Chains A and B, each alone.
Chain A
């Protein structure tokens, strides 16, 4: 964080430059710099910033004329919504595909899914997003199935009832979720396939089969639980990728979340927002890792936390 602070302030360009126009006199700009504390020496700015940061005061956004806390509070739920739904897609789809591949190992289906996963994994998210937009706007898709390609809600959102609002929000979520999550889902599928194959080869699975249990029950109940253990540890690994991807995807789909906020703030040299934003991203990743550790104990009873 300190490194970021120094870098940000050493960078050329001044946030007050945005207000520069002939109608604003230099005295006003000087006044503004004083108000924001930009005229003080760097070390003093740093100490003041660190002090307020630790007490939960993230400062004032230069570009939005609002406290940073308010700016972040607006954006955070949107990113959490997009990220959460994507995370669900990543693990549900990834595990399902991985299980299917493991059951049908070396079949044509397995090979083609492996290849498809590799292809998807190599795709840049922003390009996939644009291709999805191209697809839903093309004549291939019937008019009724056209999904919204930008923003979070339709223009008539406020007039809709509760059910209508939920459907509307869900429709807006579809494309960004796919663009954000599918590459990681492909990665999960790979791990799941390997993990499942390893588990299926073990003795207790043979025992379960020998007891005469249906294949369905053996795979989905006996094998799945153990196969999930290594996959859950991926959760912590994916969070940084997910939030990094959110920056690009939110820009592509005009999703008003943290990623787009960071992007705009960087272009506007809005330091307080950039600093607090990266701090919040890091905090989210750490919180996610904690959740992953706890989940780890849930799926693997051998692990105990004192």
Chain B
């Protein structure tokens, strides 16, 4: 390695850091080389995108460019700007989070998964819906170099379908959790702030909904309405908010009695101002943790629905649906069932790793002695 000049940093960002054994350098280098290699292999598709492509192809191109810039910047220089003297709550939490190795692993995995989802149009070797030219010869092929995860009963490439299915799963996961978190925060904060009968009534509703197994509720509702990706997302969002609302209510109940809230009330501020400016910022941490852990659960619930044939409707690939499709031929073509399932496990685990790390990092009680 050339340690002296800036040449390696210019062309192989992170190489010097990596040579010194810094994980950050290795990551930057790996991302840089990987993205460049991808761009080189898929040059034809990139050219096709520039000549006019679909929205998701432009998104992939943007991700590619953005990823290269990010990798280059990550690989430059030393340890970043010196610490700001005024430390915000977030930089304290970030430092605690960085000490949490498994959580960092989860963050890296989620970044990788998100990049893969965005880059899918360039990454996927085949069209997920494209059937083999000669269906008898191309179906049920085991994993090979051309088809790293084999082919399914229609000769479609399982790897490409896992990639495209991942986009749907992640999209549903994020959107449904966004709905659930918003609803949960609103109900929880209003109940906690208003107290009295509002609180009692809404918490009874929460108790009632929680006593229905979520999956039973889901399959009942979904079976009645023709499932589509939008419907699934909304229904998952509407059945996932109860836990958040309980946590938020508890926090708001305790925060609303603090001195600064009492002071704000004494100053005659309006209720909504107190709730949104003074209380909500202080209950954000549990909401973030609930959201991260919620994404994993939502993806699992979506997969179970799709497995039962009540989720993402068939032509679109979905991990749960793929597992179900491979079920009948599992003993002869195990790859159809195995790989989508592994994709689910990996994704859910990454979000759970981050969620655990965040919980430790954002909880002031655990900041001091960070337990691995």
Q: Which residues of A contact B (CB under 8 A)?
A: 4, 7-8, 10-12, 106, 111, 115, 118-119, 121-127, 130-131, 133-134, 137, 239-245, 247-248, 251, 262-263, 266-267, 274, 277-278, 281-282, 285-286, 289
Contacts and interface: CB of A to CB of B under 8 A. Distances in A.
Nearest to A288: B211
Given A4-B220, A118-B349, A244-B214, A11 B225 contact: yes
A148 B109 CA distance: 37
21 contacts: A7-B220, A10-B224, A11-B225, A118-B353, A119-B345, A122-B344, A122-B345, A122-B352, A124-B303, A126-B303, A130-B323, A240-B214, A243-B216, A244-B215, A244-B216, A263-B219, A263-B308, A266-B219, A266-B310, A282-B211, A286-B211
B214 to A, nearest CB: 5
B330 A130 contact: yes
State the majority secondary structure of interface residues on A: helix
B337 A127 contact: yes
B221 interface: yes
A260 to B, nearest CB: 11
A128 B225 CA distance: 29
Contacts of A106: 372
B165 interface: no
Interface residues of B, number: 40
A122 B216 contact: no
Interface string B331-362: 10010011001001100110011001000000
Contacts of B221: 7
State the majority secondary structure of interface residues on B: helix
A281 B211 CA distance: 8
Contact of A281 (B212, B303, B372): B212
A247 B345 CA distance: 20
Contacts of A277: 216
Given A119-B345, A248-B308, A285-B211, A127 B323 contact: yes
Nearest to B353: A118
Given A126-B323, A134-B334, A274-B220, A282 B345 contact: no
A130 B337 contact: yes
A84 to B, nearest CB: 16
Interface of B: 102, 210-217, 219-221, 223-226, 296, 300, 303-304, 307-308, 310, 320, 323, 327, 330-331, 334, 337-338, 341, 344-345, 348-349, 352-353, 356, 372
Contacts of B344: 122-124, 127
Contacts of B220: 4, 7-8, 262, 266, 274, 278
Contact of A123 (B212, B226, B308, B345): B345
A125 B372 CA distance: 27
A9 B192 CA distance: 36
A194 B352 CA distance: 17
A266 B223 CA distance: 6
A134 B337 contact: yes
A216 B337 CA distance: 44
Contacts of A266: 219-220, 223, 310
Contacts of B223: 11, 266-267
Contacts of A125: 304
A274 to B, nearest CB: 6
Contact of B219 (A119, A242, A262, A289): A262
B304 A126 contact: yes
The 6 residue pairs across chains A and B that have the minimum distance between CB atoms:
A244-B215, A244-B213, A127-B341, A11-B224, A122-B349, A122-B348
Contacts of B341: 123-124, 127, 130-131
Nearest to A278: B216
Contacts of A10: 224
A266 to B, nearest CB: 4
A262 B223 CA distance: 11
A107 to B, nearest CB: 12
Contacts of A111: 372
B216 A281 contact: yes
A6 to B, nearest CB: 10
B219 A133 contact: no
Contacts of A242: 213
Nearest to B210: A240
